[in-house]
Structure 1
């Protein structure tokens, strides 16, 4: 992309006389271009969308979730000295039932399952041998304890108990077959999984059961958010493991990939803890239109070469080696860095997003999401960089400007969808106010009226004229009506503005 192009959030088209009508509940949102996904990942997402006749946003999100699952295990991104981002993402595609969401998820996640099976097969003999040895030693320890309990002298009892303790201290640790993802776990179980599998895990599901679990399905309605919030940002957390000693997660990385029904999003902001603690501001939302009713039902399959390249790419990312800290000897994630050109592009985008949070700005009512948007863009760039160098060593090459541009183009689209998602979730008071004003207009089939008339009728909802005017301005932006300012006509009180409803809507009312 040329350097003179400034990143902006996509704007909606306009008709010559009246702007294009943008429904309050079904906004006309920009589509995600799968060309922004590089190489084998983009090719597979395109083929999967075609094979399943699903919106491109769905396979793109699931492929990104899989790639994030792999990248987050081995890499982290240094945006600037002292500022690091993990590479886990939380894409969420809202799509109604019947859109083959499970099929898309299954196809995208297939390489993860294959890798888990292969790793389990490689460890099978070792696990069996160590389990047998452990059982034998546990039996010996029990025998020593039985002898201690029956000993005739205290010295004998202490001797047998000491032998039992020594045996137990030497019990071999039986390795667990690697697990990369789950689709059903309580927050407590999720913490144990992360502790047992390198502090990384993915929750991938075509449903949204995780929201019920986090809302407190098994904790008497008390939200249980601490672990997932910290596992998004990589903050340390203690995990209690029942009868086993607790462990500390130092840099947990949780990826979440969901495709719930749009109705699931409605009202999420009102759930205790979801809005105020920033849970909803961590997701990357996409709300594509459903193709149901327009499908051919005769799709083509995914070309074998495309599927094989995708599987090989994901496996290569999963097989990247960890780095060893020369001082401690501990394994750690490798660091990838931005090129200077990529950093300039990212900073320009970050400044645009920052300005959008000012009063009257596009993200005035979604600051929790916008505040994390630049960091999310950096994460996405890191993942795309990993995809491009899956079969090499991405930590030896800085993230180029072109990769950052891909990530920023994706985030610009996601930002528009996020505003629509916040509207669905009840987090955008502007949309809610506009709906209430439009309901009054529609019920009365008012083709034209004075602003003062509307304010008198709606003063219970809009005690101030300015609040009602904001709602009408939003309706005007979406093409429902126009607000006509009166001409100044000498001294005295200024006449009230006139509101005129879009002519084709008014015609339908007659």
Structure 2
């Protein structure tokens, strides 16, 4: 049966009235025929003049898009990675990787995608260099000849015959003058142009840049084919290249034009269950949704005493060493109570020794036990000090009550004329002095409002520690406990240690000349998902940039009979925390810790490195604001580690600085993952990919396909990544990424005829068999 007969029979069976090419549309209430049904070159063209999508009409008829064609539609071939091209710096360290996919998207023969070293798509902020940079630099320094071509494949083919060649990332039109600096010293640079208009324009731009730098340059082109790879494939060598004597390709040169993109079916994978039903193209195993490859915490960097406690406590509680280490660092920072500062150099304001730490872990990660174990010694010391001072504080409270009664009497007598206003003012001065005396000391708070935090800090010399495993603090900062936005000024100031004034109703104001707030929060990742979107002031104020982040991997299932922390290790940790509290926290004055000469040099090298990496082409450019505070945070960590080892230390030596610096790679990688989680997309968009994968099986039709419209509609009014409705553009981008990863494959719609009216059908996708028929968990 022809496709036309198949469609008209279905229309008649559905009760549609019409004949020839005019029929009543079955996708809407249609009293007069508005559906055009005509024969095309290979099949039927359906057009509803009322605007109904063709796929809706076809679906209502109980047909598929393939039924519109006399011959079966060719299966869409999913682009596959056929080559990877690493771009490395001068030392051979990978900066980014370009992947070549064939066939390309949108009918192209090839597509190029760029990825970070950890496999994350997108390279914003990463430094751009020439391909095969180390070889280029060596050849230039030796005064040799360097070839510049348009693509990485051409470079590799030239390298195979012993030539030193390079290209820039992005291909034609993407050359920058900064690339030219790597070619200085070369005896000659030969630019080999592709034989098409973009190629000639690109080679001219490259040659102009090189010429301006005073480097000898000439431009050649292949004698055969479109590019130098075609030239080499024709068994022609370098000597057969010809000078470029035109600015556009010859109009009738068949070797000059690209062949149309081939449509081919990939070979079978040979894996059971990976074939489409109905004998379609075989599927390859899909690529899992990428996750950040986060390094484990470098516990040895803490130094032998603290590392021993972290490992023992981690094993005993079955908690990741990351979370135990963050809990311990938060406790040490709190025990210092802002009574130590770090002098770096003249002109650099002395650094406050306070850490803001944020660990992100699931509900079963034993967050609270880790914090409790780390802070137990500090709580015990605080309780002992409170007991020692209780009698003194109780006596002062009594004096306050007496003074308040005297104040009331003096005011009453002064108002009646029987007493002197001076007597009332004298009692008021006494009352103020009594109220300024500290109450019972407090070092740690948990779920606290910002107003209460300020009050407690004012009563404890401007310092406080906040170690918590619940989200109350973030909720307070977001203003969820009051009306409107919260004022987080105190939290921002207490990071750097600047003074703060608190106005109190009925009690005047409290001036804190110095502030010191230490924070160690270990909360569930969902608390911070899309935080930049929900609380944009957190980013604009620099609040989030003040934190060090940790996203530890989940721990394997634990055992009831975990080992206890050895008594010697436990007692050593408790003694060191106790010494910090007794000798440092209780001190009246702030003292300064200095850097030794060698420590200062190590830190200066690190500072200069971070400045370079923050630059526009550096790998930390996208984290520049956070990285700008990283150097100061490293100083704070170095001070905490040094003073934990020796509470009386007055210097940070090279060894202590080196240990802190060895934490930097961990902190940078985890910060990048945390900011992706807090971004507007949540997890850099990865969670949306997982959300779609979770629902594709339920959304699939009987043929194992799904339309983009149906996926979008499944998110209407729903939250996919922790806050905010998912927009249509985000879903479309996610489907494209899932196609890149091999989970879906778009089914190409038949081409529209010139002048064809009506809305385009929603893109349709085949779904991977592993989603439709997941393997049994019992399968080995």
TM-score over 0.5 for the pair: yes
SS of 2:536's equivalent in the other structure is: coil
Matches within 5 A, 1:311-350: 311-320=574-583, 331-350=588-607
Deviation at 1:33, TM superposition (A): 2.1
The residue that corresponds to 1:489 in the other structure is none
SS state at 2:334 partner: helix
Tell me the secondary structure at the aligned position of residue 275 of structure 1: helix
Show the 5 A alignment for 1:51-450.
51-83=316-348, 84-149=350-415, 151=416, 154=417, 156-157=418-419, 159=420, 161-171=421-431, 172-173=434-435, 174-270=437-533, 271-292=535-556, 294-320=557-583, 331-390=588-647, 393-395=648-650, 398-426=651-679, 431-432=684-685
User: Aligned partners of 2:517 and 2:638: how far apart in 1?
Assistant: 18
SS of aligned partner of 2:325: helix
Unaligned runs of 5+ in 1: 14-20, 325-330, 445-459, 463-467, 482-504
In structure 1, distance between residues paired with 2:581 and 2:469: 23
Q: Is the contact made by 2:341 and 2:351 (CA closer than 8 Å) also made in structure 1?
A: yes
Distance 2:611 2:452 in 1: 37
Work out the CA distance in 2 between the residues paired with 1:404 and 1:88.
17
Relative to structure 1, the CA distance from residue 45 to residue 437 in structure 2 (aligned partners, 3 Å threshold; closer, same or farther) is closer
The superposition leaves residues 325-352 of structure 1 with CA deviations (integer Å, 9 ceiling, x where unpaired) of xxxxxx5311001112112221222222
Q: Cα gap change, 1:6/1:90 in structure 2, threshold over 3 Å: closer, same or farther?
A: farther
Question: C-alpha offsets along residues 461-508 of structure 1, whole Å, 9 cap, x if unaligned?
Answer: 59xxxxx9xx98xx99xx989xxxxxxxxxxxxxxxxxxxxxxx9895
Q: Name whichever of 138-147 and 272-281 sits farther off.
A: 138-147
Q: Distance in 1 between matches of 2:388 and 2:92?
A: 51
Q: After superposition, what is the alpha-carbon deviation per residue over 1:69-92, rounded to whole angstroms, capped at 9, x for unaligned? A: 122432011121232211101111
In structure 1, distance between residues paired with 2:303 and 2:93? 20
Q: CA RMSD in A?
A: 4.0
Deviations 1:208-264 (A, max 9, x none): 211111111133231322111111122232211222121232231111101110111
Distance, in Å, in 1 between the alignment partners of 2:586 and 2:448 is: 30
Q: Using the TM superposition, name which of 58-67 and 139-148 deviates more.
A: 139-148
Deviation of 1:46 (Å):
1.5
* Cα distance in 2, alignment partners of residues 480 and 388 from structure 1: 52
The answer to whether the Cα contact below 8 Å between 1:366 and 1:428 also exists between their aligned partners in 2 is no
- Seen in structure 2, the aligned counterparts of structure 1 residues 272 and 11 have a Cα distance that, compared at 3 Å, is closer
Residue 405 to residue 427, structure 1, CA distance change in 2 (3 Å):
farther
Note the alpha carbon deviations across 1:337-394, whole angstroms, 9 max, x for none.
111211222122222222222335332222221111111111111111111212xx21
Tell me: CA distance 1:313–1:296, structure 2 relative to 1, closer, same or farther (3 Å): same
SS at match of 2:364: coil
Deviations 1:55-79 (A, max 9, x none): 1001000000000112243201112
1:398-449 CA distances to partner (integer Å, 9 max, x unpaired)? 2111111111111220110111111111168994499779979x989xxxxx
Q: Quote the residue 1:17 is aligned against.
A: none
CA drift of 1:275 comes to 1.3
CA distance in 2, matches of 1:429, 1:212: 18
Deviation string for 1:170-216 (max 9, x for gaps)? 24345311111111222122112112111111111012211111111
Identify, as 1 or 2, the structure richer in helix: 1
Separation of aligned partners in 2, 1:22 and 1:342: 44
| Separation in structure 2 between the aligned mates of residue 162 and residue 119 of structure 1, nearest angstrom | 39
State the secondary structure of the residue aligned to 2:571: helix
Distance change (3 Å), C-alpha of 1:400 and 1:183: same
Mapped to 1, the partners of 2:659 and 2:530 lie a distance apart of 32
Structure 1 stretch 199-208 or stretch 241-250: which is displaced more?
A: 241-250
- TM-score using structure 2 length: 0.51
For 2:378 and 2:344, the matched residues in 1 are separated by: 28
Secondary structure of 2:485 counterpart: coil
> Is the CA contact (8 Å cut-off) linking 1:232 and 1:254 kept in structure 2?
yes
The verdict on how the C-alpha distance between 1:104 and 1:136 changes in structure 2, with shifts beyond 3 A counting, is same
Match of 2:310 in 1: 45
| Distance apart, 1:269 and its partner CA | 1.1
Q: TM-score, normalised by structure 1?
A: 0.76
- The separation in 2 between residues aligned to 1:334 and 1:227, in whole angstroms, is 23
